[in-house]
Amino acid sequence: MAQVQDIEIRDSAARTAHAAEELCDMQGEKMVLNMGPSHPATHGVLRIVLELDGEVITKADPDVGYLHRGDEKIAENMTYTQFIPYTDRLDYLAPLANNVAYALAVEKLLGIHDKLPPRCQYIRVMCCELARISAHLLGLGAFAMDAGAVTVFLLTFTEREKIYNLAEAASGARLTTSYTRIGGLSRDIPPNWCDQVRQFLKEFAVALAEVETLLTRNRIWVDRLRDVAVVSKEMAIDYGLSGPNLRGSGIEYDLRKNQPYLCYQDLQFDIPVGTVGDCYDRYLVRMEEMRQSMRILEQCVNKIPGGGENKSKEPVNVADGKITLPSKQKVLSSMEELIHQFMLVTEGVNCPPGEIYFGHENPKGELGFYINSKGGGTPYRLKIRAPSFVNLSILGELLPGCMISDVPVVLGSLDFVMGESDR
Partner 1 sequence: MNALESANKIKAKFGDLVSEPTEFRGEISLKLSDAEKIFDVCSFAKKQLGFDYLTDICSVDNHGETPRWTVVYHLRSTKNAAELRVKTDVSEEKSELPSVIGVWRTANWHEREIYDLMGIRFSGHPDLRRILMWEGYPYHPLRKDFPLAGKPTDLPGVAFTKVTPMEGGPFVTLPSGGDSIEREPRVRVPEGAERAVSDKRRISK
Binding-site ranges for partner 1 (CB under 8 A): 64-65, 68, 70, 72-74, 76-79, 82, 108-109, 111, 237-240, 251, 253, 258-259, 346-348, 354-357, 359, 366, 368, 370, 372, 374-378, 380-381, 383, 385, 389-390, 392-393, 397, 422-423
CB of 83 to partner 1, least distance (A): 9
Q: Is the peptide bond before 37 cis (omega within 30 degrees of 0)?
A: yes
The least distance separating partner 1 from the CB of residue 72, rounded to whole angstroms, comes to: 6
Give the Cα separation of 212 and 208 in Å (integer): 6
**Residue with Cβ nearer partner 1 (159 or 366):** 366
One-letter amino acid of 269: F
Residue among 224, 84, 215 at smallest CA distance from 151: 215
Closest CA to 194 of 267, 302, 339: 302
Do 157 and 86 contact (CB within 8 A), yes or no? no
Could you tell me what percentage of the chain is helix, strand and coil, using 3-state DSSP and rounding each to the nearest 5?
50, 15, 35
Alpha-carbon span 31 to 302, nearest angstrom: 58
Q: Residue 273 half-sphere exposure, CB side, CA atoms within 13 Å?
A: 14
Considering the complex, what minimum distance in angstroms separates the CB of residue 103 from partner 1? 15
Distance of alpha carbon 56 from alpha carbon 77, whole angstroms? 47
Which lies closer to partner 1 via its Cβ, residue 39 or residue 257? 257
Least distance from C-beta 75 to partner 1, angstroms? Answer: 9
Coil, helix or strand at residue 208: helix
Nearer to partner 1, 152 or 255 (CB): 255
Q: What is the DSSP string of 287-307?
A: HHHHHHHHHHHHHHHHH-TTT
Label residue 340 left, alpha or beta by phi (over 0 means left) and psi (-120 to 50 means alpha): alpha
Q: Whole-angstrom Cα distance, residue 356 to residue 105?
A: 8
**From CA 399, how far away is CA 61, in angstroms rounded?**
9
Min dist. Cβ of residue 359 to partner 1 (A): 7
As measured in angstroms, the least distance from the Cβ of 85 to partner 1 is 10
* Rounded-to-integer distance, Cα 378 and Cα 375, Å: 8
Q: Which is nearer to partner 1, 144 or 399 (CB)?
A: 399
* Residue number, 146 or 366, with CB nearest to partner 1: 366
Cβ closer to partner 1: 196 or 388? Answer: 388
Q: How far is the CB of 105 from partner 1 (least distance, A)?
A: 11
Query: Closest distance between partner 1 and the C-beta of residue 215, in Å?
Result: 30
- The residue among 77 and 216 lying less far from partner 1, judged by its C-beta, is 77
74 vs 403, which CB is nearer to partner 1? 74
Length of the chain measured in residues: 423
> Nearer Cβ to partner 1, position 163 or 390?
390
CB of 170 to partner 1, least distance (A): 26
Name the amino acid, one letter, at 6: D
Q: How far is the CB of 419 from partner 1 (least distance, A)?
A: 13
CA angle 214, 219, 224 (to 5 degrees): 100
Pick between residue 249 and residue 292 the one whose CB is nearest to partner 1.
249
Q: How many CB atoms lie within 10 A of CB 1?
A: 2
Question: How many Å apart are CA 179 and CA 124, to the nearest integer?
Answer: 9
